């Protein structure tokens, strides 16, 4: 019952935020701006999104090997693509992680190793995103002159950065009770793995570059969307505005980030002195790109051996 209530609440949050965001735009005008060249840019955005997934796979493989759950590249890619489908259908922007965990654990890696690999992968990705936003703050402050916008940017970014650094620090503390107490045992173990990955010569530089590249590709996808509707927005502006919006969208209070992303993008554009309605337009098309990628992931899931095995389980149980 609690899960149903939470899912219902997230649906309501998405619906409410989408309603208020869509009031700022003219959908007919947006559709009229889409032509053959627009579809070409959307196609490029979809291709870059798959490249982004592949780069994430390469990072995940480095991390999963340290967690005792080594994954072949092909299997990891298939699992991540399936995860994009469930990111679009489960009540959060990270719902696909639970499905990735289930798929990896069923492959023989074990529940603990699978959980650690996905948690550490997410944590490192979050830290990389926060670092990108901090590094771009001098330019962001030139773009965003509104004091409320600056305060919101600082709060969101430094909260994420503090959480990420606190997570890494946990693995370096010498207190033995951190390894024994049930409340910190698994979190401490994940922190130790994250430190081992990030600060090792074998994995650290590669994981850092891959983590940053994942988020840069998200900006490239946004730029392709901007080009598809010839929005009056510069690449530098997109680079400064999309990462904070991505960070906010990670908060699991909506369905696949819908509504939260549109409201955040509209606010971000407004704070930057740009047209808020263009921010919402770009966000909607971004959502459409990831929805199409997720639909491809759904097709992979339908044809996967795991789906066939899952469908056979109730039949076997009834016999």
What are 172-206's pLDDT values in tens digits?
A: 998 888 888 888 899 999 999 999 999 998 889 99
- DSSP state string for the chain: -HHHHHHHHHHHHHHHHHHHHHTTS-HHHHHHT--HHHHHHHHHHHHHHHHHHHHHHHHHHHHHHHTT----HHHHHHHHHHHHHHHHHSSSTTTHHHHHHHHHIIIII-HHHHHHHHHHHHHHHHHHHHHHHHHTHHHHHHH---HHHHHHHHHHHHHHHHHHHHHHHHTT---THHHHSTTTHHHHHHHHHHHHHHT-TTTHHHHHHHHHHHHHHHHHHHHHHHHHTT-S--HHHHHHHHHHHHHHHTSSSSSTTTTHHHHHHHHHHHHTTS-HHHHHHHHHHHHHHHHHHHHHHHHHHHHSHHHHHHHHHHHHHH-
pLDDT band at 2 (very low <50, low <70, confident <90, very high): low
Residue 118 in contact with residue 97, Cβ under 8 Å?
A: yes
Q: What is the pLDDT of residues 245-271, one digit of tens each?
A: 998 888 777 777 788 888 889 989 998
119-156 per-residue burial string, b: 16 or more CB within 10 A, e: under 16: bbbbbbbbbbbbbbbeebbeebeebbeeeebeebbeeb
pLDDT average, residue stretch 18-27: 76
pLDDT of residue 282: 93
Q: What is the pLDDT of residues 208-217, one digit of tens each?
A: 999 999 999 9
Average the pLDDT over each of 81-90, 113-122, 281-290, 303-312 and give the range with the smallest value: 303-312
pTM for the whole structure = 0.88
pLDDT of residue 239: 94
pLDDT of residue 7: 65
Whether residue 319 is predicted with pLDDT greater than 60 in this model: the reply is: no
Whether residue 55 is predicted with pLDDT greater than 80 in this model: the reply is: yes
pLDDT band at 313 (very low <50, low <70, confident <90, very high): low
Tell me which of 310 and 102 has the higher pLDDT: 102
Tell me which of 27 and 297 has the higher pLDDT: 297
- Of the CA atoms within 13 Å of residue 231, those in its CB half-sphere come to 28
């Amino acid at each position: 019952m609690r899960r149903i209530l939470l899912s219902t609440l997230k649906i309501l949050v998405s619906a409410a935020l989408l309603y208020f965001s869509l009031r700022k735009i003219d959908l007919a005008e947006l559709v009229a701006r889409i032509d053959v060249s627009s579809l070409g840019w959307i196609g490029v955005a979809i291709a870059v999104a798959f490249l982004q997934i592949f780069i994430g796979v390469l990072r995940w493989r480095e991390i999963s090997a340290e967690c005792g759950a080594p994954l072949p590249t092909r299997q990891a890619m298939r699992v991540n693509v399936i995860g994009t489908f469930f990111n679009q259908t489960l009540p959060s922007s990270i719902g696909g992680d639970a499905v990735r965990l289930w798929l990896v654990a069923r492959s023989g890696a074990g529940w603990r190793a699978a959980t650690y690999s996905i948690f550490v992968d997410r944590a490192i990705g979050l830290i990389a995103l926060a670092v990108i936003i901090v590094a771009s703050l001098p330019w962001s402050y030139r773009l965003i002159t509104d004091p409320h916008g600056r305060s919101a940017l600082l709060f969101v970014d430094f909260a994420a950065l503090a959480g990420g650094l606190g997570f890494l620090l946990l693995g370096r503390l010498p207190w033995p009770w951190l390894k024994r107490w049930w409340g910190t045992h698994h979190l401490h173990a994940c922190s130790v793995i994250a430190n081992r990955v990030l600060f090792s010569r074998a994995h650290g530089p590669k994981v850092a570059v891959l983590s940053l590249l994942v988020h840069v590709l998200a900006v490239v996808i946004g730029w392709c969307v901007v080009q598809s509707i010839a929005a009056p927005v510069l690449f530098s502006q997109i680079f400064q505005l999309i990462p904070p919006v991505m960070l906010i969208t990670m908060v699991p209070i909506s369905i696949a980030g819908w509504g939260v992303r549109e409201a955040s993008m509209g606010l971000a554009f407004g704070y930057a002195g740009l047209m808020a309605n263009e921010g919402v337009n770009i966000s909607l098309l971004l959502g459409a790109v990831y929805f199409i990628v997720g639909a491809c992931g759904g097709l992979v899931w339908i044809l996967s051996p795991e789906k066939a095995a899952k469908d056979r389980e109730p039949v076997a149980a009834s016999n």
